[in-house]
Amino acid sequence: MRSIRIRTPSKDSLLIEKGNFKVIAGPCSIESEGLLDEILPYIKEAGAHIFRGGVYKLRTRADSFQGLGTSLYQPIREARQKYNLPFITEITDIRHIEELTDFVDIFQVGSRNMYNYPLLKELGKTKTPVLLKRAFSATLEEWIAAAGYLEKEGNPNVILCERGIRTFEQKLRNTLDLGSVAFLKKETDYPVIVDPSHATGRRDLVLPMALAAIACGADGIMVEVHPRPEEAHSDGLQSLDLTEFKDLMVRVERLRSAI
Ligand code: PEP
Ligand code: MN
């Protein structure tokens, strides 16, 4: 597996590499500055390596909350330094690349943008690591081909993220395709992260699917966490509260040391 160096605020680097499991955690979207100080010390203490949080949200409906945008840049810069945690956020627009570069350590390309080849080409011209989520309709071949757009432009720092696909199943938000994770680990050298939050849409299924992700060889997980999930502006039903996140970390460590 290729190893990927993630910039950190303290300039020590964090390596995504074989055998070095990573946990990315944080809210679906950063709904206020205050949320950063509520969540970051807690997830750090529990063992998370990277914090996530939406600044620009791509929502199905135009009148849904779209993220706080530029007003978050400075609070995130400060929180990133204060807690010495690298930051990942979704990049939704080519025009944001430059202004996000000084404080975004990994660009997330969301499921809706996996086929946005102009965006992938521009991100390919940077050296910033990219977490490329699988489109909910993408075959493995299409997903791997999308990664090729980043590499062709010169950015080899590609991490794949399985977040569930659409199938005939209606009970869950998506169908988590762990066979794909096992396949990618056998057939490619990309690090693969599993997102059990968007994959299930249900808080109570995040833990079992996180453990299953470890068992099938994932290199990390990305989990949504909110101190008061019932108040979240987006994805509250699938967000763990702080205690549930801490419990998940204990279980993750226990399974990791057992296998
Ligand atoms: C997210 O991570 O909050 C998100 C919108 O994910 P996806 O692109 O997988 O739907
Ligand atoms: Mn979300």
| pLDDT tens-digit map of 207-256 | 999 999 999 999 999 999 999 999 999 999 999 999 999 999 999 999 99
Q: How far does the centroid of ligand 2 lie from the alpha carbon of residue 226, in Å?
A: 11
Task: Determine the distance separating the centroid of ligand 1 and the alpha carbon of 138, expressed in angstroms.
Answer: 15
Question: Which DSSP helix (H) or strand (E) runs through 85?
Answer: none
- Hey, how many other C-beta atoms are within 10 angstroms of the C-beta on 73? 16
Kindly indicate the confidence band of residue 12, based on its pLDDT and cuts at 50, 70 and 90.
confident
Predicted pLDDT at 115: 98
E-only strand ranges, the chain: 4-6, 14-16, 22-26, 50-52, 87-90, 106-109, 130-133, 158-162, 192-194, 220-224
pLDDT at 13 over 90: no
What tokens does 72 get?
């978050």
């990618």: which residue's tokens? Answer: 184
- Asked whether the beta carbons of 85 and 44 are under 8 A apart, the reply is yes
Output the CA 229–ligand 1 centroid distance in Å. 16
Average pLDDT over residues 135-144: 98
Q: Quote the pLDDT of residue 87.
A: 98
pLDDT by residue (tens digit) across 66-80? 999 999 999 999 999
Enumerate residues lining ligand 1, CB below 6 A.
28, 54, 110-112, 133, 163, 198
Mean pLDDT over all residues of the chain?
A: 97
pTM: 0.98
Q: What is the pLDDT of residue 11?
A: 80
Count of CA atoms in the C-beta half-sphere (13 A) of 158 = 28
